[in-house]
A and B are shown apart, each in its own frame.
Chain A
Amino acid sequence: PLSVSPAADPAVISPQDPTLLIGSSLVATCTVSPDFPLKAEDLYWTLNGRRLPAASYAALGPSTLSVALARLNGSRQQSGDNLVCHSRDGGILAGSCLYVGLPPEKPVNITCWSKNMKDLTCKWAPGTEGETFLHTNYTLKYKRRWYGQDNTCQEYHTAGTYSCHIPKDLALFTPYEIWVEASNRLGVAVSDVVMLDILDVVTTDPPSDVHVSRVGDLEDQLSVRWSSPPALKDFLFQAKYQIQYRVEDSSEWKVVDDVGNQTSCRLAGLRPGTVYFVQVRCNPFSIYGSKKAGIWSDWSNPTAASTPRSERVAGGCDPKGGEQNTTLRRELKQFFGWVKKHAYGCSNLGIKLYDQWRVWLQKSHKTRNQV
């Protein structure tokens, strides 16, 4: 059963909801409304649920009690510290939210990229190493150099907390000025302006349909083929590619840099009878004839293949484990060959699928170990 609620607020606190710099001091007063039969000595204060010492109180009038708070720490929660004036029995008479913190620092490290010249995504880092303790708002702004209007980015958090995505209405062949404004209750900080042309920060999708296959019986070679990313057709840029590959149980990638703009490449000098993982990525360059390179795409998903091993080689330098592996693979190949002949609808089963499975197994082992 609720007690009868009075018409007026029982008491008033001053200052109400102030904003303060860390380390500052504050004297707050609680004045009981004349309708209430309470005196200053009937009151006490709490801050975030903890009772404040009576030594910090002072009666400023018959129904006004003050409290002195010195060297305030940053707010415990971004919604503000709860400073409450209570009556003797614990009842709440009034409260005030204290916002104690620091003004924001200039956001830094603004980096942007455009997917296929269609949009622009930028990310940045907040200037402060530590916290501001106050809710800080970030706004990304951009404008065409020499042309009036500032525009504000609307889609935030697309590539992490401090990021924003501009989906359309971007002009090419014109420099843009981009900056980030950070603001909170204590102030505003503006980053340095970054100037760029969309064409300078273009990236694209990774190559698709990456196939890795053997080169006949050659034990030390693999052939890699892929399709150029679809956007290549629509825009006037060329693509250059990079391949990286590694042996199944190594984490060291070898990079092939001089692939040029071909969509195939032969890897040589490989170890026989070994499973390799291969990835390809793409860099759009010479966009509309400029000599500059763009930004490398993500790597394609790893594709696996194995180099053949001639049966006559007797063990060689492989440890016992390697031998077992070869026997297993040989048997599996024979099994799949038999399956293809005798089972219908199993045409996808083959040594290639087995290799893909091994890639997946490696990946899931890695993530399991990372946890």
Chain B
Amino acid sequence: GDSWGIFTFLCAALCNLPALPALNCSEELGAGQSIQQTYDLTRYLEHQLRTLAGTYLNYLGPPFNEPDFNPPRLARAERVPSATVDLDLWRGLTDNARLAANYRAYSRLLCYLRVLDGQVGTAELRHRLAHFCASLQGLVLSIGGVMSSLGYPLPAGPAGPPAPPGAHAAPNDFLKKMDDFWLLKELQTWLWRSAKDFNRLKKKVPPAVVTLRLEARGF
């Protein structure tokens, strides 16, 4: 369980070193292996998020950390991409579209998380957030690597810095707390969804490639 997570994170972190989206890692290993790695990374992040969210929601205080808390999503600019999608639509996604949706979503989520990192109060939280952002960056690169190895172009991401930080900022502290709550919720939903996305992709990659690689690694 845990050692798997650490292994995949380390790989993603190592692949993090060059700033290019195409991973040396995945090109060597082939699409099948990188899809598996990306899947494992989403599970690891899901696990990490549970601890981070727990700490962060306790920092926000009740009612935010109550299990049944469900505030309204007020009509402010739809900043955070939603993971929920019609089931038939989801099933019908092409591999390219599926990967691109994940890539775009995590790139945006990463931006918002980084803003959060700059504002948060306690040293412990900043430390956890920084660690999580690093892992999430690894996931974005991993997805980019899968796309490249399958020959898909990377989506024109949120290129360059997003709108000036003040632009989408909540008008008061309480609304900001609500935004933070929803950011964490969306992250959680995306990680659940991605696990299913990558599971689906795993099945579609030519099995021959996967078997060869597995044998070569002696698993």
Q: Which residues of A are interface residues toward B (Cβ below 8 A)?
A: 2-3, 5-7, 9-10, 13, 16-17, 46, 48-50, 76-82, 84, 91-92, 94-97, 135, 157, 161
Q: Are B177 and A82 in contact (CB under 8 A)?
A: yes
Contact segment of B65-73, B103-111, B192-200, B211-219: B65-73
Given contacts A16-B172, A17-B173, contact A5 B73 (CB under 8 A): yes
Q: Is the CB of A17 within 8 A of B62?
A: no
Give B50-93 as 1s and 0s: 1 = Cβ < 8 Å from A's Cβ atoms.
00000000111111101000011111000000000000000000
Known: A84-B63, A135-B121. A95 touches B174 (CB 8 A): yes
Please determine whether A78 and B174 come into contact, CB atoms closer than 8 angstroms.
no
Which residues of chain B are within 8 angstroms of A135 by Cβ–Cβ distance? Answer: 121-122
**A84 to B64, alpha carbons, bound, how many Å?**
11
A49 and B62 contact, Cβ closer than 8 Å, known pairs A9-B74, A17-B172, A78-B121: yes
CB distance from B86 to the nearest CB of A (A): 12
The residue that B63 contacts in the complex, of A9, A49, A78, A79, with Cβ under 8 A, is A49
Asked whether A6 lies within 8 Å of B75 as measured between CB atoms, the reply is yes
Q: What secondary structure prevails in chain B residues at the interface with A? A: loop
Given A5-B73, A7-B75, A91-B72, CB of A97 within 8 Å of CB of B173: yes
Please report the C-alpha to C-alpha distance between residue A3 and residue B61 in the assembled complex, in whole angstroms.
25
- The smallest C-beta distance from B164 to any residue of chain A, in angstroms, reads 22
Closest to A95 in B: B174
26 contacts between A and B (CB under 8 A): A5-B72, A5-B75, A7-B75, A48-B61, A49-B62, A76-B62, A77-B60, A77-B61, A78-B59, A78-B121, A78-B122, A79-B60, A79-B177, A81-B61, A82-B61, A82-B174, A84-B174, A91-B72, A95-B174, A95-B177, A95-B178, A96-B172, A96-B174, A97-B172, A135-B121, A161-B123
What is the minimal beta-carbon distance from A347 to any residue of chain B, in angstroms? 38
Which residues of B are at the interface with A, using a C-beta cutoff of 8 A? 58-64, 66, 71-75, 121-123, 172-175, 177-178
Which residue on B lies nearest to A8, using beta carbons? B75
User: CA–CA, A5 to B78, complex, Å?
Assistant: 11
Residue in A10, A48, A80, A97 whose beta carbon sits within 8 Å of that of B62 in the complex: A48
- Cβ–Cβ contact A82 & B172, under 8 A: no
Among residues of B, the one whose C-beta sits closest to the C-beta of A97 is: B173
Which B residues are in CB contact (< 8 Å) with A76? Answer: 61-62
A49 to B58, alpha carbons, bound, how many Å? 12
B69 to chain A: closest residue by CB? A49
Report yes or no: B61 in contact with A79, Cβ–Cβ below 8 A: yes
Q: When the two chains form their complex, are residues A3 and B59 in contact, meaning their CB atoms are under 8 A apart?
A: no
When distances are taken between beta carbons in the complex, the residues of chain A under 8 Å from B71 are 92
Q: Whole-angstrom distance between the alpha carbons of A83 and B215 in the complex?
A: 60
Contacts of B175 in A (CB 8 A): 95
Residues of A within 8 A of B177 (CB): 79, 82, 95, 97
Q: Is the CB of A3 within 8 A of B174?
A: no
Complex alpha-carbon distance, A7 and B178, angstroms: 17
**Complex Cα spacing A236 to B113, Å:** 51
The answer to whether A82 and B59 touch (CB under 8 A), given A9-B74, A91-B72, A97-B174, is no
Query: Once bound together, how far apart are the Cα atoms of A106 and B125, in whole Å?
Result: 26
Q: Which residues of B contact A6 (CB under 8 A)?
A: 75
* Chain A residue contacts of B178, Cβ below 8 A: 95
Give Cα A135 to B123, complex, Å.
11
For A49, give the chain B residue with the smallest CB separation. B62
